[in-house]
Amino acid sequence: MTAAQLQALPLQDAPPTWTRRLRGFGAVLPALVFVLLLFVVPVLALLLRSITEPTLGLGNYAAFFAGTTYLKVLGNTFLVASLVTGASLVIGFPTAWFLAIAPRRLAGLLAGIVVLSMWTNLLARTYAWMVLLQGTGLINRALLGLGLISAPLTLTNNLIGVTLGMTYIMLPFMVLPLTSAMRTIDPSVLQAASLCGATRWQCLTRILLPMLSGPIASGALMIFVMSLGYFVTPALLGGTANMMLPELIAQLVQSLLDWGLASTAATILLVLTLILYSLQVRFFGTRSTA
């Protein structure tokens, strides 16, 4: 082949020409049109309704922040998200630690359980907790049987139920990334520290925890953001007294047909999510939530 013939071949590492750039954009175009029409336009239209319905202006936002009803929902959303994040952190850290260093077969078994629970249908998991936590459920009967309580506790339709059910769902999102982060730490770093006279407590608080502060904060932030937007589990395990923002939005649309206020609540949820997500990207880089 001559040099001219080689040049004419459509190779990948040839310098990008205008036609190749256009072809690349053409390949992206169908999906782009799809996402613009079914995502960007409807979401922007929804956000717009918060200032146009029923009349132009910020009336909906004034109404949202004026009474205690909606502020209570907002506060409750933050409360549940914080509790779930805290619980996932406290339970997730030692679990990830164990997973990272346990003998292979034991760790493999536990990791399998974590992944199975994560992949099980969300409604199936929530349903199982509804059954477990009901007045005559396994948890209450076990506590009664052990003599720890004298009458069944109310565990569903309140904060306990929703926190427990959501922590169950969020825990894998803390355990799995934290485990892989811990596996990348060289154990000899800790050996060096103890040779230099550090106690175990110092090894933990001065070396291990600081080395893991990135993944811990990133996992916590991700769980917090995901919890803010969760709908199914709070609706089934939390009850109306503990309503969260997503359920409020659904009710405003489906039962009250108040699109203006629903869009306002949706905008607030969206802005909160985007702020927290951009913090995540800024400080910890992108990571898929899948």
Partner 1 sequence: MLLTYSRLGGLRFVLCGIGLTVGLFLLLPILVLVALSFGDSQWMQFPPPGWTLRWYADLFDDPDWIFAFLTSLRIAAWVTVLSVALGLVTSFGLVRSRFPGRETVRALFLMPMILPVVVLAVALYALFLRLQLNGTELGFVLAHLLLALPLSIISISGALERFDPSIEDAAVLCGASPMEAKIRVTLPAIMPGIATAALFSFLASWDEVVVAIFMASPDIQTLPVRIWGVLRQDLSPVVAAVSTLLVALTAVLMLLSAALKKKDVRA
Among residues 3, 4, 11, 146, which is the contact residue for partner 1, using CB under 8 A?
11
Shortest Å distance, C-beta 263 to partner 1: 8
Shortest Å distance, C-beta 71 to partner 1: 19
Applying CB under 8 A, the span of 54-62, 64-72, 213-221, 243-251 interacting with partner 1 comes to 243-251
Among residues 73, 155, 176, 208, which is the contact residue for partner 1, using CB under 8 A?
208
Among residues 3, 4, 10, 67, which is the contact residue for partner 1, using CB under 8 A?
10
Among residues 7, 8, 41, 149, which is the contact residue for partner 1, using CB under 8 A?
41
Among residues 8, 116, 149, 275, which is the contact residue for partner 1, using CB under 8 A?
116
Among residues 51, 63, 79, 91, which is the contact residue for partner 1, using CB under 8 A?
91
The helix-helix angle for 41-52 and 259-284 (nearest 10°) equals 130
Give whichever of 56 and 290 is closer to partner 1, judged by the CB atom.
290
For position 229 contacting partner 1 by CB under 8 A, the verdict is: yes
Give whichever of 159 and 277 is closer to partner 1, judged by the CB atom.
277
The identity of residue 4, as a single letter, is: A
Among residues 50, 85, 88, 95, which is the contact residue for partner 1, using CB under 8 A?
95
Among residues 7, 25, 57, 241, which is the contact residue for partner 1, using CB under 8 A?
25
For position 82 contacting partner 1 by CB under 8 A, the verdict is: no
Shortest Å distance, C-beta 72 to partner 1: 18
What is the separation of C-alpha 178 from the centre of its chain, rounded to a whole number of angstroms? Answer: 15
Pairwise CA distance, residues 155 & 223, whole Å: 23
For position 259 contacting partner 1 by CB under 8 A, the verdict is: yes
What is the footprint of partner 1 within residues 119-178 (CB under 8 A)?
Answer: 119-132, 134, 136-138, 141, 168, 171, 175
